[in-house]
Amino acid sequence: MIIGKRDFDLNCGKSYIMGILNVTPDSFSDGGKYSDVDAALNQANQMIEDGADIIDIGGESTRPGYTMISVEAELDRILPVIEKLKENYDTPISVDTYKWTVAEAALNAGADMINDIWGLNYPEDPGHKMAKICAKYNVPICVMHNNPIKLESASEKEFLNTFIPQIQERITIAKTAGIKDENIILDPGVGFAKNLEENKWSIPAIKSMKELGYPVLLGISNKSIIGNISNLPVEERTEGTIALNVLGRTYGSDFFRVHDVRSNKRALEIADAIMNCTK
């Protein structure tokens, strides 16, 4: 898979790290830390030194109960950071947005891929313009599952029987718009439109997602699934994040979206080494 100037070999047995760079005042884990350009650049530099393969820039928090901001406000936050990163680094840049107007402006500014939490199915984009923009610019798109399962008493099997067809619907939207197969990444959407049991089931579901023929990104960094299991606050969820990422790797996830790049990179390198020697 080509992202920016980099060729990501998805058959080499290696995990790839996407470092989270939230330029927002209200993100659940790091809100306000990197909301000015200099702080954002310093954090990006640190993540790259720690081994980040991709930097994912977000200008609007999507935590539970988040406040939606305007397109203009989102662009004011992300465009200066994109431009500065492109001036100084070759590391691919992803933009975390569900708004097609933001996506197009970001791509024009130099972004290399789009990370869409609505999985090309945002209710205010009935014409699937996001998908058409990604096809037009020929860039990778991370398509996240973000649909309520709506089963009153689901089992893991019942969950999977609804979950996978919903993902296939998102793939159909992408391909109908002209997005190439080699530009599609799937995300199980842990923490989105799911209760605790469904979040748990989403991780082993990665194995079934991989059978659809696309790489998978797992984004569980510091999320409530960890807090609900361990009863720990956001700032104490690093170990839980690492544990779930390593578990996700055993199910086939290729990309891992994280706040703490160094610790997750090190843990996944160990997991990769063991998995590769047992093939």
Catalytic residue IDs: 223, 257
The residue among 200, 187, 207, 189 whose CA lies nearest residue 251 is 207
Comparing C-alpha atoms, which of 75, 86, 79, 178 is closest to residue 134? 178
Structure tokens at 113: 């891929």
DSSP 11-73: TSS--EEEEEEE--S--TTTTTTT-SHHHHHHHHHHHHHTT-SEEEEESS--STTPPP--HHH
Q: Are strands 6-7 and 2-3 parallel, antiparallel or unpaired?
A: antiparallel
Q: Which two tokens stand for residue 94?
A: 């992803």
Distance CA(13)–CA(8), nearest Å, equals 11
Q: Which residues pair with residue 20 across a beta bridge?
A: 56
Q: In this structure, what are the phi and psi dihedrals at residue 233, rounded to the nearest 5 degrees?
A: -70, 170
**Dist CA 43 CA 207 (whole Å):** 33
| Continuous segment of H or E residues that includes residue 186 | strand 184-187
- Residue showing tokens 């947005």: 97
